[in-house]
Amino acid sequence: RSAHNATRSIRKAVTLEPGLLMGHNLLAKIYIGQGRFKKAMHHLEKALELDPSMWEALIQLQFVLHRTKRLDSARGRDVNAKICKRIKVLFKKQNVAADPQEIGFCSFFDKATWQRPLEEDASVTARMQANKYVALADILAPKIVEALQQYYRNIIKTKYKVRFAEKTRRYEFEEAPLANLVNLMLTDLVSALTGQSVVPTYAFPVYYVSGGHIWPHLDVAENEISLTMQLELSPQH
């Protein structure tokens, strides 16, 4: 009931103020969660009209185009090109030498790139169904992992929009553009493993240091499936 009331309130706000950028984006996220992709697409396009550089709206639109099998349309190719261009900018800003196109980062929703465990081990789905969890190795190609490692290392080194949480002994990132994108890209893998058509909620990248620990999650009810991916382990640190 509270979710319904929230949706109604946001919809009313957007009707009264069509230029409410975050309102359009929030409505789109709600509609994506409900599988109402046509409505989600409408609000994402509105958000991008207001701010063509809005990363979250852009990658969510790409996800909707993928789910509605329109990623190969003219609009889909345009969105893919814009996202790939932005990834190159993000890499360059953090001195990541790799070309995202060459390492496969821009092969959006490509099964061989983003569903590697299924390609290499057909038993993972059965293990997930039987045990309700599965540990996977090499979810991403080594070159993509290496690029992400360099990206996050440099953010920590330069302290670019990052804060240190003393209680949990970890660095938390104020922005998570690549984590949010990877989260969307891995949706098909999670759907295949669980046998359900899942919709991702959010990504939360963190960098733990010695003595760091994870507190119990408080949003289990809202997130039935959790995907935890470890990019790097350095025991000496």
Instruction: Per residue of the chain (237 residues), give pLDDT as tens.
Output: 555 667 888 888 888 888 888 999 999 999 998 899 999 999 999 999 999 999 999 999 999 999 999 999 999 999 999 999 999 999 999 999 999 999 999 999 999 999 999 988 889 999 998 998 899 988 999 999 999 999 999 999 998 899 999 989 999 999 999 999 999 999 999 999 999 999 888 899 999 988 887 777 777 677 788 888 888 887 654
CA angle 67, 141, 111 (to 5 degrees): 30
User: How much is the pTM?
Assistant: 0.89
What type of residue sits at position 122?
Answer: A
- Phi/psi of residue 172, nearest 5 degrees: -120, 140
Cα of first residue to Cα of last residue in the chain, in angstroms, is 47
Task: Count CA within 13 A, CB hemisphere, residue 226.
Answer: 10
